[in-house]
Amino acid sequence: MKIGDMIETDTGHTGLILDREMLYPGHPCSPVRNYIVMWNDEAPRYAQLISGDKKITKLSSFAVKRKIK
């Protein structure tokens, strides 16, 4: 998934990917560890707050169910 994609989590929350954190930052084949997401409604309870805005959180890549078309 790329920056700007809409995603749905396992619990049904939807949001927009703002950034991604790689598992091995300098490696070209590194998998994604976390996504920085701006949520449409409210953030899931398991998402980690990273700013004063409760709509922007860090989300594990394993919590993403699918990319919304």
pLDDT tens digit sequence for 41-67? 999 999 999 988 889 999 999 999 999
Q: What is the average pLDDT score of the chain?
A: 95
Which residue, among 27, 23, 11, 6, has the nearest Cα to 61 in the 3D structure?
Answer: 23
Q: What is the pTM of this model?
A: 0.90
Per-domain residue ranges for the chain? 6-68
Bridge partners of residue 36, in order along the sequence: 19, 58
> Could you tell me the pLDDT band of residue 68, with boundaries at 50, 70 and 90?
very high
pLDDT of residue 22: 97
In the sheet that holds 6-9, the strands lie side by side as 48-49, 56-60, 32-39, 14-22, 6-9, 64-68
